[in-house]
């Protein structure tokens, strides 16, 4: 067996996976996006750009998603970073595993059930009732953009905590001592040493959360009371309610293109931020 | 088993222990103890205990998959079906007829029985998604027992595709503690008061048929209108109302119960369930009209467990089973045999059986609303506004 042939064989499983799981479904979505809706819904083959011309009708959904996905990612980062830092740097190693498991435990139940539980926590008999005991009345939480943000942070927190934890956990403690020996205070040490070294974790966590948030539909529907409308919700309605598969495919394909562009720009930015360092890399 | 006239206490306990430990079968235990015979004798005297002859011994498989609506069955009836036939009832719950149609259009739903609403059946027939029913497999179905008003839609071009389940209306539920003594009686009240003293306390369905239909009734248009001018008026109303809404969701019971929402579009049974638990929540039919509907049992094309599907539908049409359903969910039936078994307080309940002049104003949904692309787009604009 020649080297060349062996290489092909080694690449084949990944290639088949790539073809069947990625290229094929995406091609189907693209072909559908050029078609038309059947009279009772569904798909009728055609070759038209009509669906793409209709995209402005879902502009609000795209706008909401493009605002809330980065904001949600940022909120998750701001809460996850201190948590990951505490776990990785400050926690006694014997507690570390238990605390880490506690971060994952919620993932053992479906996001649907966990989000539904928040309906009761944020509903009138939950937190607002508790706040009334302390004299704060008339607080409305459920079915607000705030509830959606809470749901997003809660739902995606572990995805942000873990990559950051890993990058901080690997951090060589001697670097911190060296920084302190050279006269840097804790803040300078954090900004100049810890934070730059955890950038790969931050970058990975943000990427994971951002990509999932771009397609999110469940949390806005459940905790936003159907009033907060994301592209994900538009897609669910197009496929499950109006059964406009052609238009739904065009919206989905556009979302994929937006993601490709934004993720590429993001990776470029991150690698520029890394400034050609070779000791760290993204993902 | 030649001798099962009597059994000593001690022997009975021995046999019971053996059965409990799993050393003998249930059949053996019932045989040697005489309990099987006792049950059979009792069964002759009490019709409820008699085994259902139609399916005794036949093999319908181990499961049947039912696609239905929320809060719409008595779970005990499914358990009874499993006891009778050995088939487990797997229940999938849906939020709209559109969603059911979408799943069937996509194919591979795996359903055996589904519960379409009157106005959708012609579309299922034209899309070739629904199985014509073989009435010989439904001995409990007696066409003459059903009020034709709620049974007619099951027959398309002379072929029976679906048999009636329940009927009902779409009105609104209002928590009267918050109406300031000024009762809401119309859809005009519903939307006007939402923009006034019910602001941020109102829910509308996440369902184009009822949300758009009731907004059309505000202007006195038909619930089923697909006229562009009338739809534009309804859209303007909905978008004006949206900032005052608590939520756009068909899952309104939790919020009404917790007191977060005071007013919601509401189906008969939910109205009955809410009113039974919290009498201050009243169910109102808008005076201008609105929707009256009838749901049916039907079998989709390519149902994986067709025999079990027939067995389940037949089971649910048993008047005794059906009567228990009504008591559990509070939706009326069109079956006179079932009504004969129901207590008077159900049959005279104004939520289940509204006054005739209110009923007269109601309309059955029209097939055109299900497939009209403009109504679907209107709903999307309303939700994303």
Q: Where are the alpha helices (DSSP H) in chain B?
A: 9-21, 26-33, 35-45, 75-85, 97-106, 121-126, 187-194, 208-218, 228-241, 253-258, 268-277, 306-317, 319-329, 336-339, 344-347, 356-360, 367-371, 373-384
A24 within some domain: no
Report CB contact under 8 Å: B384, A229. Answer: yes
Residue B50: per-residue pLDDT: 46
Is pLDDT of B202 > 90?
Answer: yes
pLDDT value of position B43: 45
pLDDT band at B234 (very low <50, low <70, confident <90, very high): very high
Residues B162 and B304 in one domain: yes
Please tell me if residue B241 touches chain A, with a CB cutoff of 8 Å: no
pLDDT in tens, B284-297: 999 999 999 999 99
Q: Is A138 touching B (CB cutoff 8 A)?
A: no
Domains in chain B: how many in total? 3
**Residue B369 and residue B227 in contact, taking contact as beta carbons nearer than 8 Å:** no
Chain A closest-CA separation from residue B328 CA (Å)? 24
Residues B69 and B152 in one domain: yes
Examine residue B109 and state whether it is found in any structural domain, yes or no.
yes
Does residue B25 sit at the A interface (CB-CB below 8 Å)? Answer: no
* B298 plus B242 within the same structural domain: no
Least confident of A28-37, A263-272, B268-277: A263-272
Task: Give the pLDDT of residue B37.
Answer: 53
B170, B216, B248, B372, B378 from B235: Cα distances, Å: 20, 9, 15, 15, 7
* B179 and B284 together in one domain: yes
User: Which pLDDT tens digit goes with each residue over A154-205?
Assistant: 999 999 999 999 999 988 888 888 988 998 888 998 988 899 889 999 999 9
Does B364 lie in the same domain as B301?
A: no
| β-pairing verdict for B155-156 and B245-248 | unpaired
With beta carbons under 8 A apart, name residues in chain A contacting B371.
39-41
Domain containing residue A138: 58-274
pLDDT of residue B13: 64
pLDDT for A226-236, tens place per residue? 998 999 999 99
Q: Which helix (H) or strand (E) holds B364?
A: strand B362-364
Task: Let me know whether B97 and B123 are in one domain.
Answer: yes
Nearest to A123 among B99, B260, B383 (CB): B260
Q: Give the mean model confidence (pLDDT) for residues B41-49.
A: 47
Write out the two tokens for B125: 């027939």
Angle at B221 between CA B217 and CA B223, to 5 degrees: 60
The yes-or-no verdict on residue B178 having pLDDT over 70 is yes
What per-residue confidence (pLDDT) applies to A41?
86
B1 vs A160, B7, B28, CA distance in Å? 69, 13, 9
One domain for residues B200 and B287: yes
Return the residue matching tokens 């808008």. B286
- Pairing assessment for the beta strands B290-298 and B362-364 based on DSSP bridges: parallel
pLDDT (0 to 100) of residue B242: 96
- Position A86 pLDDT exceeds 60: yes
Residue B1 above 60 pLDDT?
Answer: no
Contacts of B207 (CB under 8 A, 6+ apart): B95, B96, B98, B250
Same domain? For B237 and B159 the reply is: no
Q: What is the pTM of this model?
A: 0.83
Contact A226 B206 (CB under 8 A): yes
* Whether residue B224 is found in the same domain as residue B276: yes
Report the CATH number at residue A228.
1.10.3720.10
Q: Which of A214, A230, A216, A229 is nearest to A263 (CA)?
A: A214
Model confidence at B2, in pLDDT bands (50, 70, 90)?
Answer: very low
B226 touches chain A (CB under 8 A): no
Question: A150-164, B1-15, B293-307, B354-368: lowest mean pLDDT where?
Answer: B1-15
Instruction: Say if residue A282's pLDDT is above 50.
Output: no
Q: What is the mean pLDDT of residues A252-270?
A: 93
pLDDT in tens, A90-131: 888 889 989 999 998 888 888 899 999 999 999 988 999 999
How does pLDDT run across B97-140, given as a tens digit for each residue?
Answer: 999 999 999 998 999 999 999 999 999 999 999 999 999 999 99
Select the residue of A61, A221, A241 nearest B98 (Cβ to Cβ). A241
Inside any domain, residue A245: yes
Per-residue pLDDT at B53: 46
Token pair in block for residue A224: 């936003």
Which tokens hold the place of B127?
């899309």
Name the band, by pLDDT with cuts 50, 70 and 90, for residue B4: very low
- For residue B255, the chain A residue with the least C-alpha distance is A123
B81 lies in some domain? yes
Cβ distance A124 to B258 less than 8 Å, yes or no, reads yes
Torsion of CA A245, B239, B242, B294, to 10 degrees: -60
Q: Is A29 part of a structural domain of the chain?
A: no
Is residue B124 included in any domain, yes or no?
yes
Per-residue pLDDT for B24 more than 90?
no
Does residue A152 surpass a pLDDT of 80? Answer: yes
In this prediction, residue B34 carries a pLDDT of 58
Chain B residues close to A244, C-beta within 8 Å: 373, 376
What value of ipTM does the predicted structure carry?
A: 0.83
> Which residues of B are less than 8 Å from A125 in CB distance?
258-259
CATH number at residue B211: 3.40.190.10
Statement: residue B39 has pLDDT above 90: no
Q: Cβ of B259 under 8 Å from any chain A Cβ?
A: yes
Q: Which positions in chain B touch A250 (Cβ < 8 Å)?
A: none
Write the pLDDT tens digit of every residue in A34-73.
Answer: 999 988 888 999 999 999 999 999 999 999 999 989 999 9
Test B383 with A120 for CB contact under 8 angstroms.
no
Would you state the pLDDT for residue A90? 87
* Number of structural domains in chain A: 1
Residue A20 belongs to some domain of the structure: no
Query: CB burial class (10 A; 0-12, 13-18, 19+) of residue A268?
Result: exposed
In a domain, B52, yes or no: no
Residue B186 lies in a domain: yes
* pLDDT computed for residue B22 by the predictor: 56
Whether A13 is in a domain gets the answer: no
Kindly state whether residue B6 falls inside one of the protein's structural domains: no
Would you say residue A47 lies in a domain? no
Residue written as tokens 């052609």? Answer: A246
Given a cut of 70, whether residue B309 has pLDDT beyond it is: yes
Residue by residue, DSSP assigns B176-231 as: GGGSTT----SHHHHHHHHTTTTTT-EEE-S-HHHHHHHHHHHTT--TT---HHHH
| Domain, as residue range, for B73 | 63-166+293-347
The answer on B304 and B286 residing in a single domain is no
Q: What does the CA dihedral B311, B314, B316, B322 come to, rounded to 10 degrees?
A: -160
Nearest alpha carbon to residue A245 among A23, A34, A22, A100: A34
Tell me if B50 is assigned to some domain.
no
Judge whether B57 lies within some domain: no
User: Is A281 among the domain residues?
Assistant: no
- Whether residue B325 is found in the same domain as residue B186: no
Output the pLDDT for position A107: 85
- Tokens 């506004």 — which residue? B385
Q: What is the mean pLDDT of residues A211-232?
A: 92
* Minimal C-alpha gap between A150 and chain B (Å): 17
B218 and B312 in one domain? no
Q: Which of B101, B247, B381 sits opposite A226 (nearest CB)?
A: B247
Which tens digits make up the pLDDT trace of B316-337?
A: 999 999 999 999 999 999 999 9
Chain B residues touching residue A60 (CB < 8 angstroms):
384-385
Beta-carbon count within 10 A of A213 CB: 22
């Amino acid at each position: 067996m020649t080297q060349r042939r062996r290489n092909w064989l080694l690449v084949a499983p990944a290639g088949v996976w790539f073809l069947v799981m990625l290229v094929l479904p995406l091609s189907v979505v693209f072909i559908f996006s050029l078609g038309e809706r059947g009279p009772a819904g569904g798909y009728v083959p055609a070759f038209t750009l009509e669906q793409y011309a209709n995209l402005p009708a879902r502009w609000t959904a795209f706008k909401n998603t493009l605002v809330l996905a980065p904001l949600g990612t940022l909120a998750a980062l701001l809460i996850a970073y201190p948590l990951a830092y505490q776990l990785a740097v400050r926690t006694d190693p014997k507690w570390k595993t238990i605390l880490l498991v506690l971060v994952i435990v919620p993932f053992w139940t479906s996001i649907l059930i966990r989000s539904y539980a928040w309906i009761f926590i944020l509903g009138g008999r939950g937190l607002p009732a508790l706040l009334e005991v302390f004299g704060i009345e008339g607080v409305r939480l459920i079915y607000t953009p705030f509830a959606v943000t809470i749901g997003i942070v809660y739902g995606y927190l572990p995805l942000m905590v873990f990559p950051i934890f890993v990058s901080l956990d690997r951090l060589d403690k001697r670097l911190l001592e060296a920084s302190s020996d050279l006269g840097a205070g804790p803040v300078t040490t954090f900004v100049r040493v810890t934070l730059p070294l955890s950038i790969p974790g931050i970058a990975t966590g943000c990427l994971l959360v951002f990509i999932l948030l771009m397609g999110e539909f469940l949390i806005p529907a459940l905790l936003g009371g159907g009033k907060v409308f994301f592209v994900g919700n538009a897609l669910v309605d197009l496929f499950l309610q109006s059964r406009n598969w052609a238009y739904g495919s065009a919206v989905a394909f556009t979302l994929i293109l937006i993601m490709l562009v934004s993720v590429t720009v993001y990776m470029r930015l991150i690698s520029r931020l890394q400034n050609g360092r070779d000791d760290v890399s993204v993902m | 088993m030649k001798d099962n006239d009597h059994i000593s206490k001690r022997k009975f306990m021995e046999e019971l222990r053996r059965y409990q430990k799993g050393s003998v079968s249930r059949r053996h235990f019932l045989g040697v103890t005489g309990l099987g015979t006792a049950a059979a004798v009792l069964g002759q005297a009490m019709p409820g205990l008699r085994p259902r002859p139609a399916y005794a011994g036949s093999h319908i498989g181990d499961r049947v998959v039912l696609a239905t609506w929320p809060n719409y069955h008595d779970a005990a009836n499914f358990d009874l079906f499993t006891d009778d036939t050995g088939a487990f009832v797997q229940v999938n719950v849906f939020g709209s007829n559109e969603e059911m149609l979408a799943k069937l259009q996509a194919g591979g739903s795996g359903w055996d029985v589904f519960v379409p609403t009157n106005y959708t059946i012609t579309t299922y027939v034209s899309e070739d998604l629904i199985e014509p029913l073989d009435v010989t497999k439904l001995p409990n179905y007696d066409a003459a027992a059903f009020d034709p008003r709620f049974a007619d839609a099951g027959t398309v071009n002379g072929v029976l595709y679906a048999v009636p389940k329940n009927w009902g209306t779409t009105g609104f539920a209002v928590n009267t503690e918050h109406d300031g003594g000024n009762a809401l009686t119309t859809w005009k009240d519903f939307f006007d008061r939402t923009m006034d003293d019910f602001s941020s306390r109102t829910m509308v369905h996440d369902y184009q048929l009822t949300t758009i239909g009731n907004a059309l009734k505000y202007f006195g248009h038909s619930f089923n209108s697909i006229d562009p001018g009338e739809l534009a008026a309804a859209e303007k109303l909905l978008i004006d109302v949206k900032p005052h809404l608590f939520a756009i969701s068909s899952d309104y019971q939790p919020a009404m119960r917790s007191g977060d929402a005071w007013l919601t579009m509401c189906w008969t049974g939910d109205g009955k369930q809410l009113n039974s638990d919290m009498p201050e929540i009243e169910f109102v039919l808008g005076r201008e009209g609105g929707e009256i509907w009838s749901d049916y049992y039907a079998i989709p094309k390519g149902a994986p467990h067709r025999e079990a599907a027939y067995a389940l539908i037949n089971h649910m049409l048993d008047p005794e089973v059906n009567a228990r359903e009504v008591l559990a969910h509070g939706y009326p039936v069109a079956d006179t045999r079932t009504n004969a078994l129901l207590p008077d307080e159900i049959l005279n309940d104004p939520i289940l059986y509204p006054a005739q002049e209110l009923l007269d104003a109601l309309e059955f949904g029209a097939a055109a609303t299900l497939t009209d692309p403009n109504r679907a787009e209107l709903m999307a604009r309303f939700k994303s506004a």
